Amino acid sequence: MKTIALRTLPALMLAATTLFAGQALAHGSFKCDTPKKEWKLREDLEDKLKAEGWDVRKVKIDNGCYEVYGFDGKGQRREAYFNPKTFELVGDVPQK
């Protein structure tokens, strides 16, 4: 019985590492290349999202995108990335 558990330990460690690495990579995979002079105000993005039913908790800049933390109109917790010129959704990090 102990032999089976010891053999599965490396596989479990690999699975856990892959899961956490995937989450870390997700953050770096969203990138916006819009020149800063073309950006709309982050307050305008907040207003747009609030009009769509969002409860915006925080907006910050990450990889040239607006990164928004909050809850969408369906009450789902979100970490979403938006193009700062168009406010187009460019990425979403799954939340638990």
Question: For residue 16, what pLDDT is reported?
Answer: 39
- pTM flag (> 0.85): no
What Cα–Cα distance (Å) separates residue 67 from each residue in 35, 52, 81, 86?
Answer: 17, 17, 5, 14
| Domain count within the chain | 1
Give the range of the structural domain holding residue 61, as residue numbers without chain letter: 2-93
Candidate from 10-14, 20-24, 47-51 with smallest mean pLDDT: 20-24
Candidate from 15-19, 47-51, 65-69, 89-93 with smallest mean pLDDT: 15-19
Which amino acid is located at 58 in the chain? K
